[in-house]
Amino acid sequence: MQKHILQNKNRIAFGSGILILLAFFIHLVLKRPDVAELFLIVASIIGILPIAIQAYQALRVKVVSIDVLVTVAVAGAFLIQNYEESAIVTFLFLFGGYLEQRTLTKTRSAIQELVALAPERALLEFADGETEEVDVDDIDIGDILIVKTGDKVPVDGKVLTGEGHVNEASITGEPLPAKKMKGAQVFAGTILENGTLRVEAERIGEDTTFGRIIELVEEAQDSKSEAERFIDSFSKYYTPAVLLISLIVYLFTKNLELAITILVLGCPGALVIGVPVSNVAGIGNGARHGILLKGSEVIHDFSRVDTILFDKTGTLTEGNPSVSDVTLLTEDDALLPALVSVERESSHPLAQAIVRHFPDVKQAPVTDTHVVQGGGVVATVDGRHMAVGNAFLMDSEKVELSSDACDKIHALERKGHSIVLVAIDGTLGAILGIRDAIRPGMKEKLQELKQLGVKHLIMLSGDNQGTVDIVKEELGLTEGYGNLLPEDKAAFTKKLVAEGRMVAFVGDGINDSPSLATAQVGIAMGGGTDVAIETSDVVLMNSDMGRLPHAMGLAKATARNMKQNMVIAIGVVLVLMASLIFSDWMNMSIGMFVHEGSILAVILNGMRLLGYKK
């Protein structure tokens, strides 16, 4: 019976409203106050049922909820035969709950839209070339899938054959379709606008980028900030306090109507709902724009950031460097094949640039590969000892750098090159200069961050200081530090945090993870490594640094919105209480009307964030 009543709470609210309207019509038009009173009694009884059930359920778990206050208030109004008050209060409370439910559903529309985009079926290709439509849950890694025009891509995978344009807005927030051909990566939840693709499944189900986005957004929307935890704790004590104050007022004044009016006016509904609705709406806006904000605690911290630290490669620069200068210091024919073979073993952007620069060099067998963090790679190629990396690696490998080599290195550094040194059997064999273009529009985006209140923009890089200085000057950064190992970046971040700065770190690689975890706000590029994304607090999908000003502006707007809602909620309660004390027009019905209006006001104020644009 209780379940049935609660399931039909909205119908009861509207039925109660109709009875109240009929009561006023009968009283004012038909002049039958006795019949009107009967309608009001019925409206009060059916209206209080779902509220009383919720109050009982709350009391069973030792919680004095808002429903308890309203139930006691309505029972008191019924006792003093103020049926008009009791009927109107129950209707307004139920109708307010209906409006709250409807508007909160809208604020969660971003996650609902994401879930709706999740693919459910896929076209599986068998070894004999036959195809069959199967459930997405039945797909295994390595399966070959056919994606046709208008279909959703069911998995993260690699295009084997075919060509087409894919709408990746659900992943990147980018409205323009991306061209896909053999070897390209595709993501679950995106839509093939034209063409046909054969895709090999590499990630399935919850492990896909799309699945992780949904999981992260759901976790963020369910998380609670310090302010929300305070309000939850405050409500546990505030609500019983209102009940106690009401009882004390009755004992001293013997005025039951005044006591139950205090119960109605003291309901903290707007205070309880105000902060969560801002949080959910802000996270929803971010999800629509390719920005994942992992919870309201992150939003609170991000809104107060005054220092942002940037990794260079793949963050401020495009992360697609190219070899622009090659100086060979030996005639050993084994050098280039050994170099390319070693670099094929690495996914580092500089290593990939070298592989692309020497496409026709034959590959040799590589053994005993050892990555020196912050230095480079040491390996054995056809029995020859290879060391590929920076000056730090050469020093640790006891490779001597001649004065001519040092002059060449310094000249390249002054021109903004990243330096890769190659040693074979303990002798320096080549100096490579590599350049990485700065992301288009980056200087303007950094200026926008300054306008948002960021005082310090600092670059930390493992690259040489000469290159760092050039990038720093070109982008107008506050400071720039080069030749840093991952632990140096983390230590620098920790030092700034200890100084009392609110620090955000932006990076995309495994070596950035310690710094992402150390900063108050870690910001990862969505195209970066899994560990960087998992360690971070904010994710910029599609590695689009252009979204960073929007993300920060949104965090500030959301934090500001939370404060506005708290002021509205507390202000309304204070005004109602003052009106009760210093005026004679305040009563239960007006109080409940204003109370429900304040709940709707904070919800609508929070929903403004869904349309936020910087």
Residues tagged active-site: 311
Alpha helices in 452-547 (DSSP H): 465-475, 486-498, 513-518, 530-535
- Phi–psi pair at 292, nearest 5 degrees: -105, 115
- Structure-block tokens of residue 20: 């109240």
What does the CA dihedral 395, 396, 400, 406 come to, rounded to 10 degrees? -20
Instruction: Tell me the residue length of the chain.
Output: 614
Nearest to 494 by CA among 474, 478, 516: 516
**What residues form DSSP beta bridges with 186?**
157
Q: What per-residue string of b and e applies to 178-188 under the rule 16 or more CB within 10 Å gives b?
A: bebeeebebbb
Tell me if residue 339 falls in helix, strand or coil.
Answer: helix
CA distance 511 to 460: 12
CB 527 within 8 A of CB 187: no
Q: Provide the pairing of β-strand 503-507 with 307-310.
A: parallel
Tell me if residue 183 falls in helix, strand or coil.
Answer: coil
Burial of 365 (0-12, 13-18, 19+ CB in 10 A): exposed
Q: Provide the pairing of β-strand 131-135 with 121-125.
A: antiparallel
CB 292 within 8 A of CB 532: no
